A and B are shown apart, each in its own frame.
Chain A
Amino acid sequence: MHRFLRLSILLVGMFFAVGSYATDTAPPITTEDDLGPQVEQPIEFPHNRHAGLHDPADDADPSKPAKGGMEINCMYCHTYARRSMVAGIPPLRKCIGCHQSIESVKETPRIKKLFEYWEAKKAIPWKKVHDLPDFVRFNHERHVQRFVFQQNRPVQEACGYCHGDIKTMTVARRQKPLTMGWCASCHQKDHLVSASSSETSHGPNDCFTCHK
């Protein structure tokens, strides 16, 4: 008799567990945008200014503040992305490397704050925007090598598959669901092996690739 009881308790437990899962977090398997929370950062870093497209109107009068961006390659600052599992937030020295010789914006509030951190030799406490659960290992290097270096895709396009159109944002905001179903939807597609080949392959489908 107690076996029956135990079984029913288990089933009830499972029902609630599945229920809570379904109501809480059922992720859409889609590549559509799924906006994450707006995250407030210690400095409102303007991605649009650094990576945004050049506006030809700015050329007309260089004395006016520019409207467009400078089209800086993502990998110039996020230098670890092609070498390591993590893309890495650029070291503070990277920012200073340029900004110490850009006199025109030196007195703006954001840059003043930047130099305050630098002079105190303190890291800027950026908040995470693209976080994954601790049981997931996403590897930037593999993706950047495949899409940027083997397929010759534009860097902003390749990064944008997961990060969205960063060049239009100030501080980044999560644009895609970054759920397993969403990852798998792209891994199921045919991707060119390299720019010069018509051969295609899928992304890996082993559990162990990401969960280890």
Chain B
Amino acid sequence: MIENGFDETTSHSAKPQSEGQAAGYNRRDFLKTLGWGGTAVALSGCGNTSIENGKETVVSYVEPTDYQIPSIGVYYNSTCAQCDAGCNIMGRVREGRVLKLEGNPNSPVNRGKLCGLGQAGVQAHYNPDRVRQPLLKGEAITWDKALGLIAEKLNGVKGEEVAFLTGTMSGHVRALLGNYMDALGSKNHFVYEAVSPAVERAANKKMYGVSMPRYRIDKAKVVLSFGADFLGAWISPVNFSQQYAQFRKGSRPEGRGVLVQIEPKMSLTGANADRWIAARPGTEGMLALALINALGTAGLSIPTDVTAVVKDYTPERVSLDTGVSFEQINRLAKLLKERSPSLILAGGAAEGYAHGTQNAMAIALLNHVLGNVGKTVEAAAGVPFPQIAPIPGSRSALTALGNGLASGKYKVVFTYGANPVYSAPAVSKFSENFSKAGFKVAFAQYLDETALAADLVLPLDSAMEEWATEVPEYMAAPEGNVGYAQLSVRQPLMGRLYPDTRGAGDILLALLKQRKADEYKGFEDFYAYLQSAIMKNKAALGGADCADDKFWNDTLGSAILPLKGVAGSISAKPAIAGFALPAPVTADASYPLRLIPSISHSMRDGRNANEPWLQESPDPMTTIVWDSWVEIHPKTAAQLGIREGDIVEVTSKSGSIKSQAYLFPGIHPDAVSVPMGYGHQAMGRYAKGVGANVFAMLDPVYDKETGELAYHETSVKISKTGERIIIVKEEGPARGSQVGRKKIAVKVSADKVDLSKEV
């Protein structure tokens, strides 16, 4: 009987044996073993082994504060630092430790919600691989010595010989950095983001007159998105996700919205769309112009200058170039004509080309033609204090810094919140150029690739320990308050885990005191500076009738300071002379496929790769964890003889990576996709050596107008290495035991796999 029970799968199933069963150890057996083993361990574990009567110490407070009750959490408001969206958060603090983050319900940005990336913020704080002391070439030194060394190295150095590289910055830390750069007499502040909507800002500026308008997905009847993954990683995803929830409600006055996504690799937004269309990579702008053309044919009144611009882009012609059928283009045009207002979005997948700005402008023109501008594309208000307004990051800033470094003109280089040694393409030789700088100082929370390449590393507080303020670049607003802007406060949710870390503001203040001691001697630390800066503008910040201490306590209590924003104005239709949209490139025979470096929700540009929750949370499309992968269309894979789990080498003109092949029908057959953010060579135990770094193999092609790296312009070839693994992923039905047995022997011959089932 028992034998029979164990043999259930093989004796009762008519299915042919899968690979796992062929090895004599199938999933059921494995689970049974695990179950019995677990029971055995559990039983023997019941012996109160974790009781530590008389051994463990129980420490009480010496002097408790009134509201602190052991085991009862207190919530403090702060601002998330995991990405640039600037969501307002609250942290649950218990016995002096932050345990869990939630969204702040009073925030117009995230309205009480928080994404998985934000949740993992506590792991950036409790991460065991944080830098704990100032390090000079790897040796721990004191702060006095570190700051003294910076003063010594800056002595006699001219302003133009100093460069400061940061990520996107805003708020009072930005103001302080501006003051420091002024004190040094330097204008070399480079703001770099590896993945940023820089092309979009440029196109928006030209087409709408503002670089970051407010999008009203919730007011649109149709959203046509050209590669904007607004539910995943695009600009302010938590805000957009909630707008999307409204957009999909049938009870809305506008009715349930229709979402169409056009992108070569299916994103989470693509998976949620009513129609997902894989146009040939790079032809998105043409498709937008063809839609205008078709709208004209369908009877929508189109200004004559626009008609002139789009007359060559007939649906018939564009259908050949894009691979989207003529009928499909006309259907879309009909949908857009019938359902107004609509909203047309352009995202990274349409912008990562040498003609990226042109693509984005063509797509924005569609918004003008459809009359959406002013309805679903609104002007957002700016903050009234330009010195704290966000400086958005871009790739072109890194190119400029790289050129300066190559010429050897920088004697002292600071980096903060940027990891270019990891995320610059290998061909740009950034790390080689970086080593040419005389003295390199990295403000770092972890020893990432850039911090390792620096001479001096200054340990940073985590976002749960530091004081800062932030102005979100995408300024969401409460309903009906168009002129709304806000300043978000980031405050310590708990004391420092390591006594020798400092906030970026504190370090900058200490550096400023070296230069302008008289001006800054009144501020003991950055907190004092921040408090005085905010209190000085109390009236402008809405506290005119409020006592000083009440205003300050309220500010810290809500951590959101609403401002009367500087109203932006969105321009009517711009003058368009014509578009330079190249015909799709004919594939280079030696590099026949287009590489799509995809933006994973969790990994983004790789700055959070050392947070294990993010490595562990399955990618929403492939469900793969703890590794990168190469997404291939099953048809293409069949031609190349590639099966799921084959280790393949993806080679471009500029480099190559090896990773596991994953067959996925949600990708254009002429493209392969590899997620960004993996493949760190440093940054701690959870990031190092996990996956492959796709940044390194990108070709040096740049957007013609903004100078941004054109992400999607890399052509690759793909070859099997002969190795094969079982992919560790959540999706089922899983074959074979996936736990603990990643590598399998290469003994399954290719002819045993029936590809027809996977296509």
Count, chain A residues at interface, CB 8 A? 49
Contacts of B63 in A (CB 8 A): 91-93, 121
Cα-based distance from A18 to B47 in the complex (angstroms): 11
**Interface SS, B side:** loop
The segment from B68-76, B370-378, B424-432, B572-580 found at the interface with A is B68-76
Contacts of A83 in B (CB 8 A): 69, 72
Cα-based distance from A7 to B57 in the complex (angstroms): 44
17 A–B contact pairs at CB < 8 A? Answer: A2-B24, A3-B29, A13-B36, A14-B43, A20-B47, A40-B54, A85-B71, A88-B60, A92-B61, A93-B64, A118-B62, A121-B63, A126-B59, A126-B60, A127-B54, A128-B55, A132-B51
Q: Cβ of A86 < 8 Å from any Cβ of B?
A: yes
Contacts of A24 in B (CB 8 A): 47
Asked if B47 contacts A174 (CB within 8 A), the reply is no
Q: Cβ of B751 < 8 Å from any Cβ of A?
A: no
Contacts of A134 in B (CB 8 A): 50
The segment from B1-9, B295-303, B472-480, B619-627 found at the interface with A is B1-9
Sample of 14 further A-B pairs with CB below 8 A, known A3-B7, A85-B71: A3-B6, A7-B6, A10-B40, A16-B44, A17-B41, A17-B43, A21-B44, A21-B47, A25-B47, A86-B71, A89-B60, A123-B59, A128-B58, A174-B53
Q: How far is the CB of B647 from chain A (nearest CB, A)?
A: 31
Q: Mark A48-84, 1 if CB is under 8 A from B, else 0.
A: 0000000000000000000000000000000010011
Q: Closest 9 A-B residue pairs measured CB to CB? A: A25-B47, A89-B60, A39-B54, A17-B40, A85-B71, A91-B61, A24-B47, A17-B44, A133-B50
Q: Cβ of A122 < 8 Å from any Cβ of B?
A: yes
With both beta carbons as reference points, the residue of chain A lying nearest to B39 in the complex is identified as A14
Asked if A84 contacts B59 (CB within 8 A), the reply is no
Q: How far is the CB of B365 from chain A (nearest CB, A)?
A: 56
Q: Cβ of B56 < 8 Å from any Cβ of A?
A: yes
Q: Tell which of A21, A83, A85, A132 has the most Cβ of chain B within 10 Å.
A: A21
Q: Cβ of B52 < 8 Å from any Cβ of A?
A: yes
Contacts of B53 in A (CB 8 A): 36-37, 39, 128-131, 174
Asked if A133 contacts B51 (CB within 8 A), the reply is yes
With both beta carbons as reference points, the residue of chain A lying nearest to B40 in the complex is identified as A17
| B54 partner, pick from A4, A6, A37, A133, beta carbons under 8 A | A37
Q: Cβ of A31 < 8 Å from any Cβ of B?
A: no
Q: Cβ of A90 < 8 Å from any Cβ of B?
A: yes
Count, chain B residues at interface, CB 8 A? 37
Within 8 A of B (CB), among A7-29: 7, 10, 13-14, 16-18, 20-21, 24-25
Asked if A91 contacts B54 (CB within 8 A), the reply is no
- Residue numbers of A with Cβ under 8 A of B are 2-4, 6-7, 10, 13-14, 16-18, 20-21, 24-25, 36-37, 39-40, 80, 83-86, 88-93, 117-118, 121-135, 174, 179
Q: Cβ of B13 < 8 Å from any Cβ of A?
A: no
Contacts of A16 in B (CB 8 A): 44
With both beta carbons as reference points, the residue of chain B lying nearest to A135 in the complex is identified as B50
Within 8 A of A (CB), among B5-56: 6-7, 24, 29, 33, 36-37, 39-41, 43-44, 46-56
| A84 partner, pick from B41, B43, B51, B71, beta carbons under 8 A | B71
Contacts of B29 in A (CB 8 A): 3
Asked if B72 contacts A3 (CB within 8 A), the reply is no
Asked if A128 contacts B39 (CB within 8 A), the reply is no
Contacts of B50 in A (CB 8 A): 133-135
Asked if A10 contacts B37 (CB within 8 A), the reply is yes
Contacts of A37 in B (CB 8 A): 53-54
- Knowing A10-B37, A84-B71, A86-B70, say if A128 contacts B52 (CB, 8 Å): yes
| B60 partner, pick from A10, A123, A135, beta carbons under 8 A | A123
| B3 partner, pick from A4, A125, A133, beta carbons under 8 A | A4
Asked if B3 contacts A3 (CB within 8 A), the reply is yes
Asked if A14 contacts B36 (CB within 8 A), the reply is yes
| A127 partner, pick from B2, B46, B58, beta carbons under 8 A | B58
Cα-based distance from A134 to B43 in the complex (angstroms): 16
Q: How far is the CB of A92 from chain B (nearest CB, A)?
A: 5
Contacts of B52 in A (CB 8 A): 128, 131
With both beta carbons as reference points, the residue of chain B lying nearest to A130 in the complex is identified as B53
Cα-based distance from A173 to B417 in the complex (angstroms): 54
Contacts of B44 in A (CB 8 A): 16-17, 20-21
